[in-house]
Structure 1
Amino acid sequence: MSSMRNATQRRNHRERAQPANREKWGLLEKHKDYSLRAKDYNEKKKRLQILRQKATERNPDEFHYGMLSSKSKQGRKITDRGNPALSHDAVKLLKTQDSGYLRTMIQKTRRVLEKLEKEFVLREGQGAEVLGEPDDQREGQHLVFVDTREDQKQYIPGQRLLSQPSDTRQEEDQSTKLVAEEADGDIEMASTTRAPKSRRALEREEAAQKKKRLLRKQHKKEQDARRSKLAALKSREKDLIDAENELELQRAKMSNCVGGVTKAGVKWKVRERKK
């Protein structure tokens, strides 16, 4: 009879899932999970109770000979890890290998830094700008020559120099006014004769502007990423150089080439023999 009961298809048992409003807490805890968590909690509770009892029953005048050989620093006990002490020559050799590794990493960092700096154009007063900017973001340069230092201080970009003759300035102002009036007349004539744009042309222009804004945003994001990478590489290079200098100082102290400070705080230096 039991074999026939097992031969028939029965509904599979499914565990109750976590409610939708509590999905941020992860899977729903089952009884076996609660049992393990409760067992661990009780064990820690008993251990803390034993330690608390030992602390209350501690004798402040207690002494054992291990206190003479052990040390403590800021409430922490310092013990020997059991590692054998290396010889003086072995330590010098290891520091030499460390110095070679640091020099290799410095050279590697500098190569990456130089490669990244080639993508930048350094401008005085503006920091670093990435090459390959969009055409609408490029700034033109206009070189102006002046006679004296005062003219250079009084010069304002986009305006005429005050030291120019008045006749020359009047002629230039009249010529610029005539050019501006002619340009305004041309624009008015073009606006009156220009036909209205179709809907498809307007949609095409809007799509082109949207694409242009997207490219500008992507380009700015790449600029920020390159700047942050450049700053990180410079910081890494500085840290490696500082570590190499410190290691060289330690090697020099081990070789008695430079002075230093003893454990007792006494400063000493190498004195050459008088000739």
Structure 2
Amino acid sequence: MSSWKKAAKSNQKVHRERAQPESRAHLGLLEKKQDYKRRANDQHEKDDTLKLLRKRALTRNPDEFYHHMINSKVQKGEHHELERDKDEHTPAQVRLMETQDLRYVNMKRTMEANKIGRLQARLHMTDVANETKNTHIFFVEDEQEAKEFSVAERLQTHPSLVGRKTNRPKLDQLAKLVLDVQDEKVILAMNDERKKSYHELQCRVEREKELTIVQQKMELKRALQEKRLRKPKQVSKGTKDQAPIYKFKYERKR
């Protein structure tokens, strides 16, 4: 019995999915079962979402207030969102102000500041120091010495190292220096890693600046909500780079 089953199974024909006929090749690939299942699951998810929204609409309390009521309006049967002042906040600042509180922003700003300090301590900012322009005055005795003056001889270093402001050894130190020749691939990898670190540092500095501006705006907003005898006077409007400036009248605390 078992040998007959094996023989029958070995003689079974392999059924493959049919291909798209040549006359319908311009319509693209023939839809397979997995394509149909994916399309059916997507339709079922949409139907479930619509069913849930209809249920929420039926059970909604008409007297319930939510902030979107005053942030949107209907004009001629069309729904419109109220535009915010685009010159005052960046999208990142608006997103932070809407979703997080002042304590969270302060915590994130402190974390970014600590990470910036660790990165600066590790990188030493040597490349930035070499790119910074400054002046160095050398004094000479007469015009003849000024014409024959050589910066490399005065600094007692190699001419190729004159432009460096950090790690500029003298000639006697270079003579005693033992060079460890590294593989070119290792040097390229180290330079690439250093470039990534500087890019990360720049991104974190910008992030810390954004968080500082958001924190200042939120602190000012909370200060304006406090009850005062005299309304503070606005000195300048807020921008993307700074919080608005108000002049508060001094009030003696009871």
TM over 0.5: no
Output the TM-score relative to the length of structure 1. Answer: 0.40
**Structure in which a larger fraction of residues adopt helix:** 1
Per the normalisation by structure 2, the TM-score is 0.42
Larger Rg: 1
